[in-house]
């Protein structure tokens, strides 16, 4: 899940990843991620703000007046199982852009919810070795 160079193969919604920093996945790691959203490609720059392997990491991004925070937690569920829990929040900033983000948030929220669900399913498929 932290292999940025392999993300295009793991997550079906991701079409391209450009890693912007050297070294491994850790606080400060930055990349541009391109996804297909609303029928067109959208690229966002993301960065790691917390990294506590192997239990947790946090990724943030800013786009169109909104700051996004994604937290991934991996919880041991016995000796051979792990529960993956992901939370995603978006906080609109002030001003005209922030107001527009709040007004249009419902449409975007549904699309993001679907993308997150697909990402989690893609991770489960890869880890469990099952087919779609």
Domains in the chain, start-ordered, CATH in brackets?
4-128 (3.30.530.20)
The pTM assigned to this predicted structure is 0.83
The C-alpha atoms of residue 17 and residue 60 are separated, in whole angstroms, by: 15
The C-alpha atoms of residue 112 and residue 104 are separated, in whole angstroms, by: 13
Contact 61, 45 (CB under 8 A): yes
Could you tell me which residues are beta bridge partners of residue 60? 47, 69
pLDDT at residue 74, rounded to an integer: 93
Region 51-66: mean pLDDT is 93
Band (pLDDT 50/70/90 cuts) for residue 31 is very high
pLDDT in tens, 33-48: 999 877 889 899 999 9
The C-alpha atoms of residue 40 and residue 34 are separated, in whole angstroms, by: 10
pLDDT in tens, 103-117: 455 556 677 788 888
């Amino acid at each position: 899940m932290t292999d940025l160079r392999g993300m295009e193969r793991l997550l079906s919604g991701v079409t391209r990843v450009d890693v912007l920093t050297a070294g491994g996945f850790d606080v400060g790691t930055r990349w541009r991620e391109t996804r297909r959203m609303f029928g067109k490609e959208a690229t966002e720059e993301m960065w790691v703000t917390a990294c506590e392997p192997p239990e947790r990491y946090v990724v943030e991004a800013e786009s169109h007046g909104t700051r996004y925070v994604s937290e991934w937690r991996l919880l041991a569920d016995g000796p051979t199982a792990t529960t993956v829990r992901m939370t995603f929040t978006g906080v609109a900033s002030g001003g005209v852009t922030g107001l527009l983000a709040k007004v249009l948030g419902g449409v975007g929220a549904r699309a993001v919810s679907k993308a997150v669900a697909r990402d989690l399913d893609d991770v489960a498929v890869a880890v469990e070795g099952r087919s779609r």
